Amino acid sequence: MNEKLLRLWDTKTKDDEWWSSFVTAPLAIATNYVVIDIKWFTPNRVTLISFVTAIISTLFIIAGGTVNFVIAAILIHASHVFDCMDGQMARYRQTTSSSGSYYDRVTDQIQVTIWFGAVAYAAFIQSHDPMPIFLAFIGVSFYSLRGYAKYVAIHVEVSRDRDYLEKKAQQDLRDKKTDSAGPQFGLKSNLRWFLGEQKKIFQFDEGVFVFMLSLALLLNQLTPMLWIFAASQLFYGLYRSWQNGHQINLNQQPVIDK
């Protein structure tokens, strides 16, 4: 088995998002296989390429029209492949950095906002109905709430317990998944893994967004997709907020030894 390919596969996020897991992340590994030894390509530059590609795709969405929508769908996928590549490259070269991780997450948030904002604009131009803009606003707002609630919960927990992050890191290490698919596994193992990944579609995270946006653009069904986006993020935004608060309440209750 090709050692370079195995090393690259090992850089793949073990609990990746739905579409990323079996489409864009493997495509990123294939692309990294070609460019990983070219020094000009650095993780931060790949992050920038991903962000610029996302902006260009947004311009095609705003321009409207069948051809532009198809190009935008392709560019959205290309942007997400680059988004997977930067982390893989950093782990492969052992050059991961806090600043790189920060900018990767910030650009991800911006990309989601401008993509759905552009789709809402395109749907409004088509229908002259303000509903798509309202749906995009609800979706992006509550998607942001999912992340905000998570980091507020971390801040509260750290304020209560200075060792919280260390304990969480140790727990994450214990819960870390091992490889169950890849080039070193057989067809049966890979098929079992693939089928197991399909339940992640209901998490409605960034990996699912890439698929939703592209499919909606290809089929020119923008408003129905925005309804799904808004409803899913409204649910998850409220649910994650309650879930984090509930966990904080459980953690602060004293343990009574019996």
Given the structure tokens 């490259």, which residue do they identify? 89
DSSP 179: P
How long a stretch of residues is the chain?
Answer: 258
Dihedral of CA atoms 146, 148, 150, 152 in degrees, nearest 10, equals: -150
Q: What is the pLDDT of residues 134-190, one digit of tens each?
A: 999 999 999 999 999 999 999 998 888 888 888 888 877 776 667 778 888 889 999
Question: DSSP states of 17-81 as a string?
Answer: -HHIIIIIHHHHHHHHHHHTT-TT--HHHHHHHHHHHHHHHHHHHHH-SHHHHHHHHHHHHHHHH
Structure tokens at 179: 């490889």
- Structure confidence at residue 253 as a pLDDT band (50, 70, 90): low
Considering just the CA atoms, what is the radius of gyration of the chain in Å? 20
> Measured between alpha carbons, how far is 207 from 80 in angstroms, rounded to an integer?
8
Class of domain 3-252: mainly alpha
Count CA within 13 A, CB hemisphere, residue 193. 18
pLDDT of residue 258: 39
> Measured between alpha carbons, how far is 200 from 197 in angstroms, rounded to an integer?
6
> Measured between alpha carbons, how far is 8 from 138 in angstroms, rounded to an integer?
38
Structure tokens at 131: 């509903």
Lowest-pLDDT choice from 64-73, 92-101, 213-222 = 92-101
First to last CA, the chain: 54
pLDDT of residue 177: 67
> Measured between alpha carbons, how far is 56 from 37 in angstroms, rounded to an integer?
27
pLDDT of residue 51: 97
Q: Report the chain's mean pLDDT, rounded to a whole number.
A: 92
> Measured between alpha carbons, how far is 159 from 184 in angstroms, rounded to an integer?
44
> Which positions ≥6 away from 79 have C-beta within 8 Å?
50, 51, 53, 54, 57, 111
pLDDT of residue 121: 98
Q: What is the pLDDT of residues 98-124, one digit of tens each?
A: 888 899 999 999 999 999 999 999 999
> Measured between alpha carbons, how far is 134 from 131 in angstroms, rounded to an integer?
5
